[in-house]
Amino acid sequence: MSGGDHLARTDQAALYHELTRSNLPATRRWFLVTGLLALVALWGAGCFIYMMKTGMGVTGLNRPVFWGSFISSFVFWIGLSHSGTLISAILRLTNATWRAPILRGAEAMTAFTLMVGGLFPLIHIGRNWRFYYMIPYPNSRQLWPNLRSPLMWDAVAINTYLLGSLTFLYFGMIPDLAIARDHATGWRKKFYAVLALGFRGSHGEWRRYHVASTIFAILIIPVAVSVHSIVGWDFAMAKVPGWHSTIFAPYFVTGAIFSGIAGVVLVMATLRKVYSLERVLTTVQFENLGKLLCMMSLLWGYFYFAEFLTVWYNRNPEEWEVFRSYGGHYLPLWLSMVVCNFVVPFPLLCMRRVRRSVPALCLVSLLVVAGMYAERFLIVVPSLARRNIPFIWHNYFPSWVEFSVLAGALAMFLLLYTVFAKLFPIMAVSDIQERLFQATDRTMGGATVETLAREGSGEGGHG
């Protein structure tokens, strides 16, 4: 290694301490927030146990609406998971230089949203205590799970994605854990020493790291796309008017990335505010995320329009009854979906001023997240509530038990994230350092512009 090392190491310490304020000893406020989240999560868990003991009758579910808020939440959370690893992988592959500060936070978000989302199918089934019937284990009946069922595809895809994302998250963190090991003290030093797997930052290690992370990034993209396609096929494969649609797989992936980016914006803005990361998480990151969000809003609108137009023009009575309920019983929800997903975000995000303002972007993202939840609900419920036979039509509204479980799930996600931020470097220190080394401020006329020594490292980045 070159002689510039000494300078780099001193800088590294300062950078590490700036970026890992989240790892400082827990304050009273931290315990308060964590305790509150744990309380809500426990309340949700308690309500789930109550539901398990009493039966699904404590929900608002009925015939024909056998799937409700739990399945909507499942689709919603799995959708949120799509930004993190996917975006991070795409940005790694395209060598987008602005990616460094959002990598870790986004990847962690994927892992935790998947954990929460993956719980919902288990929460929702009638005999949760028999969930292991769906696992292929050798049993006395010599029965294996039915792989013709899209639910089994789901189980396989989500488990693959979860394991892949966790590996991706951990693998990307190894150089940062090594930095943390070098600068931390006390129990943290031991903790990071074990997790860093002896990474020293030699040339050979970095070379292998870059090759491996490229391979990981390439492999995780088809997995991510397949996961939400399969979630879409849970519905599209069914003989249910409004579900049975060929457009669902790409439409679900689009919606997933759309809500996921909004989720990343919210997470990043929170991290920036709470841990004073304004110097790293700059408007560049937020503006770029805003551009992505704008494009996904347009794409989502296009998909929805294409889906709506074909049904509207065709007027197949079975499907049309479902769509008619959007204008009737479900009108408030339908309107909020269209407004929150397209009518407000798209024009606003076209404006540079909105994209560059963190509060404005957060507001838009919040709308998108709410709108996407409404969209998930509108996909799951009205199609069931307006089945083929009008005699059994029935509406559905979630009960307090369902609301409690949903709140518990949100609290669980936030809790996992808070604890993760306390224990691990939440910013990709080594990636940020790499970027800082390449960047210089140059004066061009009256303006100071950030310029880069070169685009991309050239090693592994282009295969």
Partner 1 sequence: MNHKWAMAIDLDRCTGCGACVTACVAENNIPVAGEAEVEKGRLMQWLRVERYWDGEYPEANAVYLPVPCMQCERAPCETVCPVYATYHNEDGLNAMVYNRCVGTRYCANNCPYSVRVFNFRDHTWEKPLDEQLSPDLSVRSRGVMEKCTFCIQRIRRVKETAAAEGRAIRDGEVVPACVQTCPPGALLFGDLDDPHSEITRKLKDPRRFRLLEHLGTEPRVVYLKRQKGAGL
CB of 29 to partner 1, least distance (A): 42
Nearer CB in complex with partner 1: 131/305: 131
Least distance between partner 1 and beta carbon 60 (Å)? 8
Please say which residue, 130 or 454, places its beta carbon nearer to partner 1: 130
Q: By CB neighbour count within 10 A (0-12 exposed, 13-18 middle, 19+ buried), where does 146 fall?
A: exposed
How far apart are alpha carbons 403 and 84 in whole angstroms?
26
Site string for partner 1, 131-150 (x = CB under 8 A): x-xx--------x-xx-xxx
Cβ distance to partner 1 smaller for residue 108 or 381 = 381
CB–CB of 69/197 below 8 Å? no
The 3 state secondary structure assigned to 241-298 is CCCCCCCHHHHHHHHHHHHHHHHHHHHHHHHHHHCCCCCCCCHHHHHHHHHHHHHHHH
- Which of these ranges, 104-112, 236-244, 326-334, 427-435, lies near partner 1 under the rule CB under 8 A? 236-244
Report whether 61 contacts 401 (CB < 8 A).
Answer: no
We find the least distance from the C-beta atom of residue 328 to partner 1, in angstroms, to be 18
Q: How far is the CB of 373 from partner 1 (least distance, A)?
A: 20
- What lies within 8 Å, CB to CB, of 409 at 6+ separation is 44, 73, 77, 116, 119, 120
> Which of the residues 371 through 430 are near partner 1 (CB under 8 A)?
384, 387-389, 391-392, 394
Minimum distance between the CB of residue 145 and partner 1, rounded to whole angstroms? 6
Q: Is 127 or 462 the residue whose CB approaches partner 1 more closely?
A: 127
Q: Cβ closer to partner 1: 211 or 237?
A: 237
Q: Return phi, psi of residue 147, to 5°.
A: -75, 0
Number of residues that bind partner 1 (CB under 8 A): 42
Q: Which residues contact 244 (CB under 8 A, 6 or more apart)?
A: 236, 237, 238
- Cα 318 to Cα 322: distance, rounded to the nearest angstrom: 7
Closest to partner 1 by CB, 122 vs 449, is: 122
Give the nearer residue to partner 1 in terms of CB position, either 56 or 184.
56
d(CA 215, CA 223): 13
Structural contact between residues 117 and 70, judged by C-beta atoms closer than 8 angstroms: no
Contact pick of 102, 116, 178, 240 for partner 1 (by CB under 8 A): 240
Query: What would the x/- binding string for partner 1 be over residues 42 to 81, using CB under 8 A?
Result: ------------xxxx--xxxxxxxx--------------
Amino acid at 333: L
Q: Is the dihedral of CA 62, 63, 69, 74 positive or negative?
A: positive
Complex with partner 1: residue 6 or 63, whichever CB lies closer: 63
d(CA 359, CA 354): 9
Q: What DSSP designation does 95 have?
A: T
With tokens 């519905």, the residue in question is 235
Among 28, 29, 130, 203, binds partner 1 (CB under 8 A): 130
Residue (31 or 397) nearer to partner 1, CB: 397
Q: Is 40 helix (H, G, I), strand (E, B) or coil?
A: helix
According to DSSP, the β-strands at 447-452 and 439-444 are: antiparallel
Tokens at residue 120, please? 């919902």
127 contributes a contact to partner 1 by CB under 8 A: yes
Q: Which x/- pattern over 96-125 shows residues binding partner 1 (rule: CB under 8 A)?
A: -------------------------x--xx
Footprint of partner 1 on this chain (CB under 8 A)? 54-57, 60-67, 121, 124-128, 130-131, 133-134, 143, 145-146, 148-152, 155, 237-240, 384, 387-389, 391-392, 394
